[in-house]
């Protein structure tokens, strides 16, 4: 059975009674799928052309607040509509939902019909187009980690997010026997994604109790980001359907490891045949182009942190000795560095950015990585010497901003991102980060009360 569908194939599946529902989805600022469920007859007859969504979908926080202060969406501007234009290249079956197909949509301005610049998918498409104009194709992969719980989302919420029980009780890193116990969920995820046309490689146990990782084969940047958003949606839905829960929080418990979304990246010729990062005669098999790209990632590491770590919680992950990095330095096959050189001396020579958490928005994160890398190429930057040893405990080295407050100041001040994304887009995401910070600043946490109630 074909996983990806053409419109004709969808029509046939509808007429045969196999598909009756089409999800039309856009990707929101948090990387979630937002949209509508169409009866297949209506989708085929009408919505396939376009449908509409409220502009606030690109101006909310995690809790869907109507956040004040955005230029693009506000009470004073009346919260009108965007156009959701289905991208039929993404039309696919959704095996984990009965009789259902899905299509991702581009978000267009209602009046000009041009892409909305701060829409995550548009932002990534724009950076991919810039690279294409330079004759290059970005191939990327994201490796998502998550924690799996044996209670349902409803039970966990009803218990006030206390007493969560992990499905595996201790370190299950590469452990087959322990992860056998998670197969009811993980096998359904792998097979579901395969049936949706997502090239799933594997799942594996991870180092913290209850933690797992899912790998999807590398692909063109836009496809990889689309896959990432769909994978998260699938994982949560499949876990829910089995009475379990999955979280992609960057750090759900300070005693546990964090969950990351490592980003592998390499540049190729437009026909996908020549690995532009490879130079067989050079050190590590790295071409000059790759050295410049990597130098860009390092020079602009501060500028792009907000897109790798968008929430207050994201920054709790950056702890020494946890496999999450604390420094933006590069190093050959070294998991203590923020940027790890992989595929040394092969056609697959690439850089793995280890900074981002599983809570990042894939379209924004990939767009920011490409913008920084491209700046490195344009500026013909020299790559600093490789770091070697334990980056956590070594003296010196470029620290990753350790708070959202610090990262949002770097984003606001980024000349590189303002040039690559435009001022309005940067201002939009600075506002999102500033709102997140303000919301946190006025909250009293459990930790503060437990610590100070009696003792203060």
- Footprint of ligand ADP (CB under 6 A): 139-141, 143, 215, 217-218, 264-266, 343, 348, 350
Q: Are 81 and 54 in contact (CB under 8 A)?
A: yes
Q: How far is the CB of 264 from ligand ADP (least distance, A)?
A: 3
Q: How far is the CB of 221 from ligand ADP (least distance, A)?
A: 10
Q: Which is nearer to ligand ADP, 91 or 221 (CB)?
A: 221
Q: Which is nearer to ligand ADP, 85 or 227 (CB)?
A: 227
Q: Are 190 and 116 in contact (CB under 8 A)?
A: no
Q: Which is nearer to ligand ADP, 99 or 348 (CB)?
A: 348
What number of residues does the chain have? 456
Q: How far apart are CA 287 and CA 343, in angstroms?
A: 13
Q: How far is the CB of 394 from ligand ADP (least distance, A)?
A: 24
- Please state, as a whole number, how many other Cβ atoms lie within 10 Å of the Cβ of residue 417: 27
Q: How far is the CB of 142 from ligand ADP (least distance, A)?
A: 8
Q: How far is the CB of 199 from ligand ADP (least distance, A)?
A: 8
Q: Which is nearer to ligand ADP, 244 or 374 (CB)?
A: 374
Q: Which is nearer to ligand ADP, 65 or 217 (CB)?
A: 217
Q: How far is the CB of 273 from ligand ADP (least distance, A)?
A: 13
Q: How far is the CB of 215 from ligand ADP (least distance, A)?
A: 4
Q: Which residue has the tokens 């979304």?
A: 261
Q: Which is nearer to ligand ADP, 26 or 265 (CB)?
A: 265
Q: Which is nearer to ligand ADP, 262 or 431 (CB)?
A: 262
Q: How far is the CB of 73 from ligand ADP (least distance, A)?
A: 35
Q: Which is nearer to ligand ADP, 294 or 432 (CB)?
A: 294
Q: How far apart are CA 193 and CA 197, in angstroms?
A: 7
CA 332 to chain centre: 24
Q: How far apart are CA 240 and CA 318, in angstroms?
A: 29
Q: How far is the CB of 26 from ligand ADP (least distance, A)?
A: 25
Q: How far is the CB of 445 from ligand ADP (least distance, A)?
A: 36
- 3-class secondary structure for the chain? CCCECCHHHHHHHHHCCCCCEEEEEEECCCCCEEEEEEEHHHHHHHHCCCEEEEHHHHCCCCCCCCCCCCCCCCCCCCCCEEEEEEEEEEEEECCCCCCEEEEEEEEEECCCCCECCCCHHHHHHHHHHHHHHCCEEEEEEEEEEEEEECCCHHHHHHCCCCCCCECCCCCCCCCHHHHHCCHHHHHHHHHHHHHCCCCEEEEEECCCCCEEEEEECCEEHHHHHHHHHHHHHHHHHHHHHCCCEEECCCCCCCCCCCCEEEEEEEEEECCCCCECCECCCCHHHECHHHHHHHHHHHHCCCCCHHHHCCCCHHHHHCCCCCCCCCECCEEECCCCCCEEEECCCCCCCEEEECCCECCCCHHHHHHHHHHHHHHHHHCCCCCCCCCCCCCCCCCCCCECCCCHHHHHHHHHCCHHHHHHHCHHHHHHHHHHHHHHHHHHHCCCCHHHHHHHCCCC
Q: How far is the CB of 38 from ligand ADP (least distance, A)?
A: 33
Q: How far is the CB of 278 from ligand ADP (least distance, A)?
A: 9
Q: Which is nearer to ligand ADP, 197 or 348 (CB)?
A: 348
Q: Which is nearer to ligand ADP, 102 or 139 (CB)?
A: 139
Q: Are 128 and 370 in contact (CB under 8 A)?
A: yes
Q: Which is nearer to ligand ADP, 161 or 174 (CB)?
A: 174
Q: Which is nearer to ligand ADP, 243 or 332 (CB)?
A: 332
Structure tokens belonging to residue 290 = 């790759």
């Amino acid at each position: 059975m074909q996983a990806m569908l053409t419109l004709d194939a969808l029509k046939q599946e509808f007429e045969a009674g196999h598909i009756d529902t089409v999800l039309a989805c856009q990707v929101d600022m948090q990387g979630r799928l937002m949209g509508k469920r169409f009866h297949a007859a209506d989708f085929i007859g009408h919505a396939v052309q376009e449908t509409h969504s409220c502009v606030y979908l690109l101006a909310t926080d995690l809790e869907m607040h109507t956040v004040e202060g955005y230029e693009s969406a506000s009470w004073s501007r009346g919260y009108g509509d965007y156009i959701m234009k289905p991208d039929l290249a993404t039309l696919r079956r959704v095996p984990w939902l009965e009789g259902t197909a899905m299509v991702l949509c581009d978000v267009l301005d209602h009046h000009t019909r041009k892409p909305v610049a701060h829409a995550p998918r548009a932002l990534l498409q724009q950076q991919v187009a810039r690279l294409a104009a330079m004759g290059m194709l970005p191939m990327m992969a994201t490796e998502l980690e998550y924690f799996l719980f044996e209670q349902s989302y409803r039970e966990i919420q009803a218990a006030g997010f206390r007493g969560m029980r992990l499905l595996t009780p201790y370190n299950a890193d590469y452990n087959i026997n322990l992860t056998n116990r998670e197969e009811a969920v993980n096998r359904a995820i792998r097979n579901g994604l395969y049936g949706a046309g997502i090239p799933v490689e594997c799942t594996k146990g991870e180092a913290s109790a209850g933690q797992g990782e899912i790998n999807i084969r590398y692909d063109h940047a836009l496809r990889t980001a689309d896959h990432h958003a769909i994978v998260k949606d699938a994982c949560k839905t499949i876990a829910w359907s089995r009475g379990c829960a999955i979280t992609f929080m960057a750090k759900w418990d300070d005693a546990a490891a964090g969950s990351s979304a490592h980003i592998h990246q390499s540049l190729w010729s437009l026909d996908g045949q020549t690995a532009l990062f490879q130079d067989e005669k050079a050190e590590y098999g790295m071409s000059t182009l790759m050295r410049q790209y990597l130098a860009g990632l390092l020079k602009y590491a501060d500028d792009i942190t907000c897109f790798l770590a968008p929430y207050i919680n994201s920054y709790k992950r950056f702890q020494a000795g946890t496999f999450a990095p604390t420094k933006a330095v590069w190093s050959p096959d070294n998991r203590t560095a923020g940027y790890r050189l992989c595929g040394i001396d092969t056609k697959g020579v690439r850089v793995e950015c280890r900074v981002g958490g599983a809570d990042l928005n894939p379209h924004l994160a990939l767009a920011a990585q490409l913008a920084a890398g491209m700046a490195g190429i344009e500026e013909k930057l020299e790559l600093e010497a490789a770091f070697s040893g334990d980056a956590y405990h070594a003296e010196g080295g470029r620290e990753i901003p350790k708070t959202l407050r610090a990262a949002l100041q770097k984003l606001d001040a980024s000349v590189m991102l303002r040039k690559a994304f435009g001022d309005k887009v940067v201002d939009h995401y600075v506002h999102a980060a500033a709102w997140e910070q303000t919301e946190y600043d006025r909250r009293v946490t459990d930790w503060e009360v437990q610590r100070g109630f009696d003792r203060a």
